[in-house]
Copies of this chain bind each other. A is one copy, B any other.
Amino acid sequence: MMELDWLGGKIAGEGVLRLSKKIRDLEDVFEDHAAWTSMDPETLVYSVEWTQPTAQDNEGGLFWGVTVIEPGRVGEEFFMTRGHFHAKRDRGEYYTAVQGTGMLLLMDESRSGRWEQMTPGSLHYIPGHTAHRVVNTGQDPLIFWACWASDAGHDYGTIQREGFSHRVIASEGSPRLVPSTQP
């Protein structure tokens, strides 16, 4: 049993796992490499806390976690997660936002993209065979919870090599979706 701070985006209890991604960990994720190079490499972009109460290869099990994406930009591009397909492609996932505003970018295996607006209370179903990335388009941290199959796994490599179909940039202060020009 664990204790959630739902609105604060925290999990307390034994066996909570944590990771964080800083600017230095996210080379080639953002389009503007010169802007990325000029930033403090220790700048926090996002952090994740999650619980794995069962083995990763356990079919039928589930994991539960929370992601906090800081507000910020690399050049004109908003802070975002790396994004991934599930290694086991048919595994779906839920995201639900509790604080902040953002965009959930979705892309199928033929690189067809769509997006959903994330606001406090929004619930998003990510079907199987669909890459997912979250972009914080607001001034405050974007916090969202997730539930996914323990055997889903993560394929970050495909996105790292091929990128997403679209990027989200600041256009006169507002987020705008533009086709990607490079991975």
A interface, CB within 8 angstroms of B? 1-6, 11, 13, 51, 53-54, 59-62, 64, 88, 90-94, 96, 98, 116-117, 121-125, 127-128, 147-150
Contacts and interface: CB of A to CB of B under 8 A. Distances in A.
Which 10 pairs show the lowest CB-CB distances between chains A and B? Answer: A60-B90, A53-B125, A147-B147, A2-B123, A60-B91, A60-B128, A61-B92, A4-B121, A62-B92, A1-B116
A117 B91 CA distance: 30
Contact of A122 (B1, B148, B149): B1
6 contacts: A6-B96, A13-B123, A60-B88, A60-B128, A62-B92, A64-B147
Contact of A61 (B4, B60, B96, B127): B127
A59 B88 CA distance: 11
Contacts of A11: 123
A88 B150 CA distance: 16
B94 A59 contact: no
Contact of A62 (B51, B61, B125): B125
A64 B94 CA distance: 8
Contacts of A116: 1
Contacts of A51: 123, 125
